[in-house]
């Protein structure tokens, strides 16, 4: 999946190599240079210079809002939140606040949030995945990034100032508040939501204007949000060892050993995928992400899970040894709300000298609850353990992708058959059908993200998702791009293919071929293990075939993938064996078409003819879906790329083909054969 959402960089630690999405305008870069991490802005490459021809100074005023002159027709998706903001201001007065900050985040810095946590959307009407709202007694402003300028301008009513983050002259929230408020003013926000790092950044900037950040533990939006949807009441469930591979007890012992060597008495986990992974539990609290709300406190002797009581079933209790402690490994289950007090109580615990936390992913409230002398900042030891899959998980991921490939190929085969025959299909029906096919596969649970099903010009909108308003039919006149994936009990998948049911243009063929070359070269690279090589070192390989002719794509190339966890998962600072990542170059022409090819690949040890200084690593394709031969200009491929491509198609034919026959999918098999003929070059 291409980065529809800014990867919650705040969630990842120094271990992050998750690429954030670069919006189609590179204006975002200006932001980063000017402001760094102030105020919740996703961070990309620090040192990128601002393309001079792309900077525009922007006037921030209500006059600049779209269709906000009297008499203007209102866009259909504009939401009038005047009344909600008024009620919010009433609460602000009640709580003695001059301004209130609202984020798109939840307490666990999840990339996707539960509808119950979509507070910013409630207050502003803006439905993008990232934004910041600041409401004062006189004004209300929303910060959006360039992915969403247009969307925000449409959705916000005309009382809202739209802060187009990244444009020259547009201040960040803390700076803006410093300008519009007086010294002595109090700015409130929910400290259980904002991360410690961001909170302290706001506090520092605001204090320069004599303004105070106030941690108001009552969330003011929750007071006024009368029809607020509840959080999911679904329970957690046990992930059997046949999928998890290593028992939670063994995982805990491994973490405890690591903690000893780091000299830390205690670790606190707030990332839901880490909580789930450690205890071999899953849930259904976040759309597309099989996790449940919880925190873990882990010491050498203690192990506490803080989770809402409805998450806990008898099976879960049994699994966690809550009653019958064997080998000192039991989980004490406490109430979700008790986390803050439990952290505060560590003050009096002489056996706890240090608690390892990550201030850029932990909420300010919980960070502050830990006694300051006991706080140790650092990356979570779980991150690497989770990222590098164990042999059972690896087997599971490979198997999940095999099933996923069968489903996707079966779907593409059907689509091709029918569209070329003139049967009606559109983006929505295609998305629905692709899910149906996946649902037939064993151990399918749900999708891993909302399917991107994009025909023609919609393919050029990198974060596109079809809706009833935007849905268009599929036909033989242009390219169709589908980026989709699933959660299976044995793995998370994410794959993108681009197809053409008619006659592609020469330009489309050249573009597709260059994207393909980049994808092949990226996955084909070999490098010394223990060399510290990471994504940024090999990014050029994915882009080079496009760069050579002056082309590019404005999004990231790769993200980690979880094992029946997050489709965007944190990775190690440098590639490690057993990690699964995406390999997804693309090319887009605004208003015309989009091309993206995405595979998930596995980091493996490479066999090399020589051994200079230890083992080498490479990638092994996990995704096994054919490419579209009519979109490949074989004369552009090098001999080596041709070999690599043919060997891949041979794997696809053998592995996916065999599974198709086992499942009795004859038509899909025929289609598969037609797409995997060796190319001569």
Binding residues vs a copy of itself (CB under 8 A): 26, 45, 47-53, 525-528, 530-534, 536-541, 543-544, 546-552, 554, 573-574, 606, 608-614, 616, 638-640
Taking the least distance from each CB to a copy of itself, the nearer of 44 and 300 is 44
Which H or E run contains 441? none
H helical segments located in 463-563? 506-524, 535-547
Integer Cα distance of 533 and 88 in angstroms: 49
SS3 135: strand
SS3 19: coil
- At its nearest, how many Å lie between a copy of itself and the CB of residue 44? 10
Taking the least distance from each CB to a copy of itself, the nearer of 287 and 528 is 528
- At its nearest, how many Å lie between a copy of itself and the CB of residue 57? 16
Taking the least distance from each CB to a copy of itself, the nearer of 45 and 424 is 45
Q: Is 666 exposed, middle or buried (0-12, 13-18, 19+ CB in 10 A)?
A: exposed
Q: Per 3-state DSSP, what percentage of the chain is helix, strand, and coil (rounded to 5)?
A: 35, 20, 45
Taking the least distance from each CB to a copy of itself, the nearer of 443 and 531 is 531
CB 1 within 8 A of CB 139: no
- At its nearest, how many Å lie between a copy of itself and the CB of residue 606? 8
H helical segments located in 132-181? 149-155, 173-180
- At its nearest, how many Å lie between a copy of itself and the CB of residue 8? 21
- At its nearest, how many Å lie between a copy of itself and the CB of residue 23? 12
Taking the least distance from each CB to a copy of itself, the nearer of 55 and 302 is 55
SS3 348: helix
Taking the least distance from each CB to a copy of itself, the nearer of 49 and 422 is 49
CB 156 within 8 A of CB 125: yes
Instruction: Pick the closest to residue 501 from 519, 477, 525, 485 (CA basis).
Output: 477
- At its nearest, how many Å lie between a copy of itself and the CB of residue 681? 11
Note the Cα 78 to chain centre separation in Å.
27
Note the Cα 477 to chain centre separation in Å.
32
- At its nearest, how many Å lie between a copy of itself and the CB of residue 452? 22
**DSSP string covering 29-83:** HHHHHHHTTTTS-----TTPPP-GGG--B---SGGGSTT-STTPPPPTT-B--HH
- At its nearest, how many Å lie between a copy of itself and the CB of residue 479? 18
Taking the least distance from each CB to a copy of itself, the nearer of 205 and 616 is 616
Taking the least distance from each CB to a copy of itself, the nearer of 67 and 507 is 507
* φ/ψ (deg, to 5) at 222: -65, -30
Taking the least distance from each CB to a copy of itself, the nearer of 216 and 510 is 510
- CB count in 10 Å sphere of residue 127: 16
Cα distance from N-terminal residue to C-terminal residue, the chain: 31
Instruction: Pick the closest to residue 484 from 474, 497, 471, 473 (CA basis).
Output: 497
CB 151 within 8 A of CB 162: no
Taking the least distance from each CB to a copy of itself, the nearer of 424 and 547 is 547
- At its nearest, how many Å lie between a copy of itself and the CB of residue 551? 5
CB 375 within 8 A of CB 357: yes
- At its nearest, how many Å lie between a copy of itself and the CB of residue 552? 5
- CB count in 10 Å sphere of residue 166: 29
- At its nearest, how many Å lie between a copy of itself and the CB of residue 538? 5
Partnered with residue 574 across adjacent β-strands are none
Taking the least distance from each CB to a copy of itself, the nearer of 300 and 534 is 534
């Amino acid at each position: 999946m291409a980065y529809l959402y800014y990867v919650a960089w705040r969630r990842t630690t120094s271990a992050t190599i998750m690429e954030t999405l670069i919006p189609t305008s590179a204006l975002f870069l200006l932001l980063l240079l000017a402001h760094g991490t102030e105020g919740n802005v996703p961070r990309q490459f620090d040192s990128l210079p601002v393309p001079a021809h792309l900077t525009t100074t922007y006037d921030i005023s209500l006059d600049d809002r779209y269709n906000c002159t009297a008499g203007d027709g209102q866009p259909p998706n504009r939401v009038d939140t005047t009344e909600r903001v008024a009620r919010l201001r009433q609460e602000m007065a009640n709580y003695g606040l001059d301004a209130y900050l609202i984020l798109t985040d939840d307490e666990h810095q999840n990339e996707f949030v539960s509808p119950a946590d979509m507070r910013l959307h409630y207050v502003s009407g803006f439905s993008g995945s990232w934004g910041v709202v600041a409401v004062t007694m006189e004004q209300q402003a929303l910060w959006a990034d360039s992915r969403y300028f247009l969307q925000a301008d449409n959705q916000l009513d005309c009382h809202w100032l739209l802060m187009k983050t990244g444009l020259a002259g547009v201040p960040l929230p803390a700076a803006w508040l410093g300008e519009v408020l007086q010294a002595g003013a109090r700015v409130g926000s929910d400290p259980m939501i904002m991360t410690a790092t961001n909170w302290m950044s706001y506090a520092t900037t605001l204090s320069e204007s004599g303004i105070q950040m106030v941690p108001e533990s009552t969330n003011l939006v929750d007071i006024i949000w009368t029809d607020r949807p509840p959080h999911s009441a679904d329970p957690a469930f046990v992930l059997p060892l046949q999928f998890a591979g290593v028992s939670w007890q063994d995982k805990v012992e491994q973490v405890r050993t690591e903690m000893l060597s780091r000299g830390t008495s205690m670790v606190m986990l707030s990332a839901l995928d880490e909580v789930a992974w450690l205890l071999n539990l899953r849930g259904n609290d976040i759309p597309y992400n099989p996790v449940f709300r919880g925190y873990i406190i882990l010491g050498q002797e203690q192990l506490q899970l803080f989770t809402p009581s409805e998450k806990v079933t008898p099976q879960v209790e049994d699994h966690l040894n809550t009653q019958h402690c064997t080998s000192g490994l039991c989980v004490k289950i406490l109430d979700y709300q008790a986390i803050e007090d439990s952290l505060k109580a560590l003050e009096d615990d002489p056996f706890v000298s240090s608690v390892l936390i990550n201030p850029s992913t932990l909420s300010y409230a919980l960070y502050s609850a830990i006694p300051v002398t006991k706080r140790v900042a650092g990356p979570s030891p779980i991150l690497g353990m989770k990222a590098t899959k164990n042999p059972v998980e690896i087997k599971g991921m490979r198997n999940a992708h095999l099933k996923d490939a069968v489903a996707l190929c079966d779907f593409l085969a059907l689509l091709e058959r029918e569209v070329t025959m003139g049967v009606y299909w559109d983006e929505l029906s295609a998305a629905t059908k692709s899910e149906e096919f996946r649902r037939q596969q064993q151990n399918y649970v749900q999708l891993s993200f909302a399917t991107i099903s994009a025909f023609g010009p919609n393919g050029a909108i990198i974060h596109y998702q079809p809706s009833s308003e935007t849905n268009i039919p599929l036909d033989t006149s242009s390219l169709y791009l589908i980026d989709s994936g699933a959660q299976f009990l044995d793995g998370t998948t994410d794959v993108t293919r681009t197809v053409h049911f008619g006659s592609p243009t020469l330009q489309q063929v050249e573009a597709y071929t260059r994207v393909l070359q980049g994808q092949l070269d990226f996955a084909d690279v070999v490098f010394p293990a223990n060399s510290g090589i990471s994504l940024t070192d090999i990014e050029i390989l994915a882009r080079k075939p496009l760069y050579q002719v002056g082309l590019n794509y404005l999004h990231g190339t790769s993200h980690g993938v979880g094992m029946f966890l997050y489709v965007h998962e944190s990775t190690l600072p440098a590639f490690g064996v057993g990690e699964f990542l995406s390999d997804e170059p693309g090319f887009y022409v605004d208003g015309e078409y989009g091309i993206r090819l995405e595979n998930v690949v596995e980091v493996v040890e490479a066999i090399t003819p020589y051994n200079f200084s230890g083992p080498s690593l490479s990638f092994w394709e996990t995704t096994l879906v054919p490419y579209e031969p009519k979109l490949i200009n074989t004369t552009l491929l090098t001999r080596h790329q041709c070999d690599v491509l043919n060997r891949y198609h041979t794997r696809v034919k053998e592995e996916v083909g065999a599974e198709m026959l086992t499942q009795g999918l004859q038509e899909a098999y025929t289609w598969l054969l037609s797409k995997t003929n060796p190319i001569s070059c």
